């Protein structure tokens, strides 16, 4: 469908709506000031290669290889202590894993490496095989289980996302962690404490990586800066996601390394939560009038896309609408197809 046709359809759907409150939550409005224009889709969909030459410290000993706003390239973290170095996420595929490992080795200068992943999704962790035997691999237990349960299906699905992604996934094997933990794990890297905390919402096995002394948190896709939150399958939960963001906000981080998008302050957490609460509120209001999910989706999705017009990847809006509808009504979840 052309953009123009989509816009016209959106306009028609809007015209048919009864008066709805037009209110961009303040936190979301603030976050959107820096992201007034959507990224050109051609730029978003370049080959998903980690650009290690862009690696930079966001605090002494805390390096981020930033996401250049290419889909399927996440922010990567490398956290160095006196005795060991922790890598957070690998990027998608062997070549990206190799690039990240090389950067981590350079920083580590002989110190032992650890690897953890924010969640099991391919763009975050399907370079882990390169680290096997080179770093101690540690995940939260639900993530390890979700990887085991869904890993092969996600690999097959992502290989269908075009030639660049298929190429990135050549030779990828899913590897088991060396160790798992329950709930929370404190790691002492030597003069630097890292807390790993299980916080499922975007998947069954998300975890955050929190540096309490530096007040830095790596959220994985629990927060994305300037992208719509992704509800990829039935394990993404709306209400739980709102609660998880409140827990992360309560840690009072100074810097938030989102799964995708620029490193920011805590406003990015508030912006994502404001959006989720907005979707939840609108869905509840329409669902209370007895509207079936298709109608709620048809009426709400164009409105939300316009309300958050500065964010990228708006194809995820109807997924959010349907998750919140299922939660509001207790009816079975019916996600749109990709």
- The one segment of 3-11, 113-121, 303-311, 321-329 that binds Zn ion by CB under 5 A: 113-121
**Shortest gap between Cβ of 124 and Zn ion (angstroms)?**
6
Q: Write the interaction track for Zn ion spanning residues 221-250; mark x where CB under 5 A is met and - where it is not.
A: x-----------------------------
Among positions 118-177, residues that touch Zn ion (CB under 5 A) are 121
Contact 88, 78 (CB under 8 A): yes
DSSP 227: B
Instruction: Count residues near Zn ion (CB under 5 A).
Output: 2
Contact 318, 336 (CB under 8 A): yes
* Structure tokens belonging to residue 239: 């209400």
Among 50, 72, 84, 78, residue whose Cα is nearest residue 192: 84
Q: Pairing state of beta strands 85-88 and 184-188? A: unpaired
Q: Tokens 């927060």, residue?
A: 223
**Shortest gap between Cβ of 224 and Zn ion (angstroms)?**
9
State which residue, 118 or 255, has the beta carbon closest to Zn ion.
118
Q: Pairing state of beta strands 56-59 and 193-198? A: unpaired
Q: Is residue 35 involved in binding Zn ion (CB under 5 A)? A: no
Among positions 53-72, residues that touch Zn ion (CB under 5 A) are none
Alpha-carbon gap, residue 2 to 263, rounded angstroms: 33
**Shortest gap between Cβ of 295 and Zn ion (angstroms)?**
29
State which residue, 227 or 324, has the beta carbon closest to Zn ion.
227
- 105 class by beta-carbon count within 10 Å (0-12 exposed, 13-18 middle, 19+ buried): middle
**Shortest gap between Cβ of 146 and Zn ion (angstroms)?**
11
Among positions 202-221, residues that touch Zn ion (CB under 5 A) are 221
State which residue, 25 or 226, has the beta carbon closest to Zn ion.
226
State which residue, 214 or 227, has the beta carbon closest to Zn ion.
227
Alpha-carbon gap, residue 144 to 114, rounded angstroms: 16
**Shortest gap between Cβ of 148 and Zn ion (angstroms)?**
17
**CB atoms near residue 73 (< 10 Å):** 24
State which residue, 316 or 324, has the beta carbon closest to Zn ion.
316
**Shortest gap between Cβ of 297 and Zn ion (angstroms)?**
22
State which residue, 10 or 232, has the beta carbon closest to Zn ion.
232
Alpha-carbon gap, residue 237 to 104, rounded angstroms: 33
Binding site for Zn ion (CB under 5 A): 121, 221
């Amino acid at each position: 469908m052309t953009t123009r046709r989509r816009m016209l359809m959106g306009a028609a759907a809007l015209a048919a709506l009864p008066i709805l409150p037009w209110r961009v939550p303040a936190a979301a409005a603030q976050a959107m000031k820096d992201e007034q224009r959507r990224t050109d889709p051609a730029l978003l969909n370049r080959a998903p290669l980690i650009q290690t030459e862009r690696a930079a410290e966001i605090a002494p000993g805390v390096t981020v290889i930033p996401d250049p706003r290419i889909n399927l390239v996440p922010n990567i973290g490398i956290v160095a202590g006196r005795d060991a170095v922790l890598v957070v996420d690998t990027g998608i595929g062997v070549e990206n894993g190799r690039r990240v490992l090389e950067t981590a080795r350079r920083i580590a200068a002989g110190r032992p490496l650890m690897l953890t992943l924010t969640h099991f999704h391919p763009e975050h962790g399907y370079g882990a095989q390169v680290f096997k035997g080179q770093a101690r691999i540690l995940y939260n237990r639900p993530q390890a289980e979700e990887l085991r349960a869904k890993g092969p299906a996600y690999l097959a699905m992502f290989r269908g996302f075009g030639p660049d992604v298929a190429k990135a996934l050549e030779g990828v094997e899913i590897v088991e962690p060396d160790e798992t933990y329950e709930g929370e794990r404190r790691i002492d890297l030597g003069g630097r404490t890292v807390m790993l905390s299980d916080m499922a919402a975007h998947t069954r096995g998300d975890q955050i990586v929190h540096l309490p002394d530096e007040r830095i948190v790596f959220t994985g896709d629990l927060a994305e800066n300037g992208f719509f939150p992704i509800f990829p399958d039935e394990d993404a939960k709306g209400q739980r996601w709102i609660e998880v963001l409140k827990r992360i906000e309560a840690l009072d981080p100074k810097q938030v390394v989102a799964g995708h998008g620029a490193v920011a302050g805590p406003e990015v957490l508030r912006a994502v939560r404001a959006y989720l609460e907005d979707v939840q509120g609108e869905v509840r209001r329409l669902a209370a009038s007895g509207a079936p999910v298709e109608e709620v989706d048809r009426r709400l999705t164009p409105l939300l896309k316009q309300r958050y017009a500065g964010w990228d990847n708006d194809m995820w809006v109807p997924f959010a609408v349907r998750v919140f509808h299922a939660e509001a009504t207790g009816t079975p979840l019916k996600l749109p197809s990709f």
